[in-house]
Amino acid sequence: MLSDYAPLLLLLALAAAFVVGNLVISEVLGRPKPGVGKKTVYECGMPIRGTARARFSVHYYLLALLFILFDVEAAFLLPWAAHAEELGKAGLVAMGGFAVVLVVGLLYVMRKKALEWDR
Amino acid sequence: MSFFGAPVFFLAAALFALGIYGFMTRRNLIVVLMSIELMLNAANLTFLAAARGTAQANEASSYAVFVILVAAAEVAVGLALVLAVFRLKRDSDIDAARDLRG
Amino acid sequence: MNLLREELSWITPELCLTLFACVALLVDLFVQKGRESVMVGFFSLMGLLATAFFLYRQYGVTPPAQPVFGCMVVDPFSTLFKLFAVGALAFVVLFTMLSRQTRPDGYGEFYFILLCAGLGAFFLASTYNLLLMYLGLELLSIASYILAGYAKGNRRSGEAAMKYVIFGAVASGVMLYGFTLLYGMTGSIDLTVIGPKLRDQFALDHGTIPISVATGLCLAGFAYKISAAPFHFWTPDVYEGAPTPVTTFLAVASKGAGFAALLRFLQAGFIPDRTLGGPEAMMGYSDKLGTLVAVLAALTMTLGNLAALGQTNLKRMLAYSSIAHAGYVLMGVATMNREGFSSVLFYLVVYYFMNLGAFGVVMYYANTTGDEQIDDLKGLGWRSPLVAITMVAFLVALVGLPPTAGFIGKWFLFTAAVKKGFLWLAVVAGINSAISLFYYFRVARAMWLRPEEEAKYATVHASPAFAALLLVLAVGTVWFGVGFDSLLRYCDYSQNLLR
C-alpha cells in the first residue's frame, strides 16, 4: 500500500537534490558579478514599467466580488444536477425558485451597469 | 465523544483559534476579514470531519456548501464596506475608525 | 407533488415576502429607474400587508406535526414573532418614506434589502434546524450591514457599517463553530434531536466540558445579536452612525428575532422535560446555564444604564437604553422556565411599541432640526405638543412606570425572576430602573424647556402622517398597560405551544 508511493518519494528526493545541488555548485564554483540587469525584477524578459505597488481600479474589486458570488451560487446547482432525477419535480421547483432569485440579482447587476468594464 | 479525540478536530480547533487570534491582533481590515474566513473554514472542517465515515457524510458536505456561500456573501459585503470606508478615510487600518465615540 | 403543494402552503408568508422583495427591486430597476423610491416603498408596504394577511391566517390553525421541508417550524410562537417583525418593518418603511433627512430618494434597493432582512428574521424565529438558524441570522445580519452603511459618503454611517460587519462576522463565526461542535457531539443539526442526545450524554455522565464549550460559543453569537454584555460594544456606534430608520429596525426587529432564536435554542436543547424527569445532571446544567444568563443580564443592564447617563446624543442614549433593555429581557430568559419565557415574549411586544415610538420621535425631530442632540430638543413640547406627549408616553414606558405597558412587562419579568429564586437579580434590575429614570427624565425635561433662541427652529415641517403614526404607537404603549390580559393570553398561548 505505502510502497505505491515510493516512486513519488523518489521523485521528490531527486527534485530536492537537483535544486540543492545546483545551488551549492553555483555557490562554490561561481564568482559574483553584480549588475543592473541582475538586480531588477524578472518580468519574463519584458522591460519593467512602473512599480509593483500600483493600485487596482476599484472596478476590479467589484467584478471580482460579483464573480465570487455567482460562482459560489452556481455550486448549488451541481449537487442538484447530480441527483435531478431522484429529486423530481420538487427539486425542479426548488431550483427554479433559486434560479429566479439569481436572475433577479443578475438583472440588478446588469441594470446598474456593474458588468461594464469601461464606462 | 470519540470525535473529540480525532486529529482533524484539533486541526479545526487550531484554525479557529488562529482566526480569533488574527481578529484580536491585526489592525488591517483586510487581514481581519481573512481571519474571519479562517474561523468559518474551521467550522466547515468540523462539520465534515464529524460526519466522515458516517451515513451523514453527504448531508455534512451540503452544509459546508451553505457555509461557503455565506462566507462569500459576508466577505463581499465586508470588502465593499471596507472599500467604501477607505475611499472616505484613505486608510484601511481599524484604528482609523474613530468618528464614533461616546 | 401534493405534498410539495401542502408544504409550500405552510411557507406562504415567506414566499410572499420574497416575491414582493423581488418585485420591489424590479420596480425600482425598470419602472422607477432609480429616480424616486416612493413607488418602491408602496410596493414594499403592499408586500408586508399581504404577508401579514397570510400570517394572520396561519395563527389559529393547528401547526403541522412535522417541520415543513424538515426545517421550518410553523407554530404560534414563530407566527407571533413574524407578525411583529412585519409590523416593525411596516413602521420602518413608513418612517423612511415620511422622513426628509434620511429618505433615500433614488435608492429603491433600500426597501429590497429591508424586506430581505425581514425574511432573515422570519427564518431565525421559526426553526430548530441549526443550519437554517445560521442562514437566517446571516441573511438578517448581512442585510443589516448594508443598511447600516446606507448613507453613502457619510463617514459615520460607513464607519458604523464597517464595525458592524467585522464584529458581526466574528460573532456569527463563533456561533457557527459552536453549532458544528454540537453537531460533532450529537450527529445532528436538529435541535429537537440534539436535546435528547445531550440528555443521554448527561445521563452517561461524560462530563460537561465539551457541551459547555459548545453552548458558550453559541451563546456568544446570540448575545451579539441581542447586544448583551460582553458583546454589546458595537451597539452604540452602529445605532448612532446608521440612518435612523435602520437603527429602529436593528433595535426592534433584529433584536426581537435574536431573542426568538435564543429562546428556541435554550428551550429545545437545554431545558429538560420536567414531566419526563430528565437526568439530574441535565437539571443541574440547565440551572447553571440560567445562572450564567442571570449574571450576563445584571452586567448588561448595569453597563447599559450607566453608560446612558452621560450621553448627549439622543440616538446614542437610546442605544445604551436598548442594551439595558436587553438585560431586563435576559432576566426572563435566565429563569429557564415557561413562565419566564412567556414574560420575555410579553416584554418584547411592549418593547416593540415603545422603541419604535422613541426612535420615531428621534426621526420626527431630526427631520425638522437635522440634529439628534438631547439639548436641541428644547421647545419641542411647545412647538408640537402632540409629538412631545407621545414621547413622554414612550419614555415613561421605557422607565417602566404605570400606567404604561412598560410597567406591566417589567412586572412579569420581575415576578418570574423572583419566583425562580433570582431575588438579587430583581434587586439589581430595580436599582437599574431607578437609574434609568435620570436620563429618560432629562429628555422629557429638555422638551418642555423654552429654547433660548425662539426662532432657531421656527420652520417646523410638522408632518401629520408621521405624528399619526407616533400616536398609534403611543396608544398601543398605554393600552397594553391597562388592557394587557389579551396580549398576555396570546403570549402564554404561543409559549405553551413551543414544542
- How many domains would you assign to chain A? 2
pLDDT at B74 over 80: yes
pLDDT attached to residue C431: 93
Question: What whole-number distance in Å separates Cα of residue C258 and Cα of residue B87?
Answer: 33
* Predicted local distance difference test score (pLDDT) of residue C451: 64
Residue contact C311–B39, C-beta within 8 A: no
User: Given an 8 Å threshold on Cβ–Cβ distance, is A111 in contact with C29?
Assistant: yes
Examine residue A119 and state whether it is found in any structural domain, yes or no: no
Q: Cβ contact (<8 Å) for A89 and C4?
A: yes
Q: Count the Cβ atoms, other than its own, within 10 Å of residue C289.
A: 21
Select from B40, B66, B99, B101 the residue whose CB has the most chain C CBs within 10 Å, as the one to mutate to test that interface. Answer: B99
> For chain A, which chains pass the contact test of at least 3 CB pairs under 8 Å?
B, C
Q: Quick check: A107 and C18 CB within 8 A?
A: no
Residue C287 confidence (pLDDT) above 70:
yes
State yes or no: pLDDT of A50 exceeds 80: no
Tell me what pLDDT residue C105 has: 52
Instruction: Choose between C489 and C11: higher pLDDT.
Output: C11
Residue A34 shares a structural domain with residue A64: no
d(CA A90, CA C349): 37
pLDDT of C454 > 70? The answer is: no
Residue B1 pLDDT exceeds 50: no
Dump pLDDT digits (tens) for C161-176.
888 999 999 999 999 9
* Band of residue C458 on the pLDDT scale cut at 50, 70, 90: very low
Contacts of C174 in chain B (CB under 8 A): 20, 39
CB-CB under 8 Å, C236 with B84:
no
- The verdict on A75 and A107 lying in the same domain is yes
Contacts of C127 in chain B (CB under 8 A): none
C30 touches chain A (CB under 8 A): yes
Higher pLDDT, C344 or C200: C344
Is A100 part of the contact surface with chain C (CB cutoff 8 Å)?
yes
Task: Give the residue from C157, C150, C153 showing the smallest Cα distance to C103.
Answer: C150
Assess B80–A contact: CB distance below 8 Å, yes or no.
yes
Does A69 touch chain B if contact means CB atoms closer than 8 Å? yes
- Domain range for A105 is 58-111
Q: What share of chain A is helix, strand, coil (3-state, %, to 5)?
A: 70, 0, 30
- How large is the average pLDDT for residues C88-92? 92
pLDDT at A62: 82
pLDDT digits (tens, 9 = 90+) for B14-47: 999 999 999 888 888 888 999 999 999 999 999 8
How close does chain A come to C498, measured CA to CA in Å? 28
Q: Is the pLDDT of residue C459 over 50?
A: no
Helices (H) and strands (E) in chain A, counts: 5, 0
Q: Point out the least confidently predicted range of B17-21, C198-202, C461-465.
A: C461-465
Ordered by where they begin, the domains of chain B are: 2-92 (1.10.287.3510)
Averaged pLDDT for residues A4-10: 80
Average of per-residue pLDDT across C460-467: 71
Residue A68 has pLDDT above 90, yes or no: no
Does residue A70 sit within a domain?
Answer: yes
Which residue would you say has higher pLDDT here, C298 or B5?
A: C298
Task: Compute the average pLDDT of residues C96-102.
Answer: 69
Same-domain pairing of A35 and A68: no
If asked whether residues A22 and A62 sit together in one domain, one would say: no
Residues A70 and A105 in one domain: yes
A-chain CB neighbours of B63 within 8 Å are none
